[in-house]
A = this chain, B = another copy of it.
Amino acid sequence: MKIRVGIYGYGNLGRGVENALKQNQDMELVAVFTRRPPETLKIFTAGVPVVSAASVLDYVGRIDVMVICGGSATDLPEQTPYLARYFSVIDSFDTHAKIPEHYAKVDAAAKEGGNTAMISVGWDPGMFSLNRLLGEAVLPDGKDYTFWGRGVSQGHSDAIRRIEGVADAKQYTIPIDSALEAVRRGENPQLTAREKHLRECFVVAKEGADKERIEREIKEMPNYFADYDTIVHFIDAEELARDHSGIPHGGFVIRSGRTGAELEHSHIIEYRLKLDSNPEFTASVIVAYARATCRMKREGMVGCKTVFDVPPAYLSPRSYGEIISTLL
Contact = CB atoms under 8 A, between A and B. Distances in A.
Interface of A: 16, 19-20, 23-24, 44, 96, 99-100, 103, 120, 125, 127, 129-130, 132-134, 136-141, 184, 259-261, 264-277, 280-281, 283-285, 288, 291, 306-313, 315-317, 320-321, 323-325, 327-328
Nearest to A140: B23
B259 A19 contact: yes
Nearest to A256: B274
A3 to B, nearest CB: 14
Nearest to A325: B100
Contact of A315 (B129, B134, B309): B134
A117 to B, nearest CB: 14
A316 B132 CA distance: 11
Contact of A312 (B16, B273, B308, B321): B308
B133 A312 contact: yes
A133 B292 CA distance: 13
Given A120-B328, A137-B317, A267-B273, 9 more contacts: A24-B140, A129-B327, A136-B316, A138-B281, A138-B285, A184-B274, A264-B276, A309-B311, A310-B312
B133 A323 contact: yes
Contact of A311 (B125, B138, B268, B311): B311
A38 to B, nearest CB: 21
A19 B324 contact: no
Contacts of A325: 99-100
Contact of A277 (B20, B130, B260): B260
A321 B272 contact: no
Nearest to A286: B138
